[in-house]
Amino acid sequence: MSYQDQVIFITGASSGIGRQLALLLAQEKARLILAARHADTLATVQQECLQYTSFCEILIMDITQPEQVDAGAKKAWQLYGRIDVLINNAGVTQRSKLIDTQVSAIRQLMEVNFFGPVMLTKALLPYFQQQQHGQIVVVSSMAGLMGYPWRSGYNAAKHALQGYFETLQTEQPIPQLHTTIVCPGRIQTPITYAAITADGSPFGKMDPGQAHGIPVDKCARRIITGMRKRKKQVLIAREERILLWFKRFFPPLFYFISRKGN
């Protein structure tokens, strides 16, 4: 299955996994719509993609703002007259202990990681219904499958995301609408620089575990492979995959190891 000439809408496309997905799909000659909050970095990614594809549009959009999401969905549809694939990739992580984390910080995490993808998906479902086909990819996390220290609000948001999009899979309101949930572990991206801390301020540095994570190119390629196969779920992890296995089959060992993590 090739994505040549397919219209693909990617959120959080200015860096990390989103940027790498954009570059790889551009090389397949996809028609891209890239969305993010920061115009300068998004424009840079656009220029990189235009080296491979003749079609790459950008949308400056904050997925936590309902009016921007609705306007962005409408604009994205108008750009090409259809959307074949939506990749809900935008997200923010967390680095703070549960006992210290303010409720306002948890709300931030929920707005970006849960309500943002839900709002955009809801805004686009009528268009998918109109064309009677499509593909939705949501970048969740291994944190959506288990609780892990220093990520209480992030874990909660990703668990909610998992539940919402699994329901979309089971209901499948449009017969030819296929949904893939991606669960990465630690990936080599700059995501921890903007990670939310106890009071909502950014973490501002690279997490050592993130720095030694799976290369982002390898992660993006595995996501695209999962998309092609229309998989329901794609796990992209090393240690976290083992930890999940412990949780399912040896819970005491899972809790023992997890308590030592950060």
Please list the residues that pair with 87 across neighbouring strands: 10, 137
Q: Which listed residue (3, 80, 148, 154) is catalytic?
A: 154
Distance from C-alpha of 38 to C-alpha of 33, rounded to nearest angstrom = 15
- Three-state SS string over the chain comes to CCCCCCEEEEECCCCHHHHHHHHHHHHCCCEEEEEECCHHHHHHHHHHHCCCCCCEEEEECCCCCHHHHHHHHHHHHHHHCCCCEEEECCCCCECECHHHCCHHHHHHHHHHHHHHHHHHHHHHHHHHHHHCCEEEEEECCHHHCCCCCCEHHHHHHHHHHHHHHHHHHHHCCCCCEEEEEEEECCECCCHHHHCECCCCCECCCCCHHHHCCECHHHHHHHHHHHHHCCCCEEEECCHHHHHHHHHHHCHHHHHHHHCCCC
Of the candidates 5, 38, 2, the one whose C-alpha atom is nearest the C-alpha of residue 18 is: 38
**CA count, 13 A, side-chain hemisphere, 88:** 34
- Is 80 part of the annotated catalytic residue set? no
Return the active site residues. Answer: 154
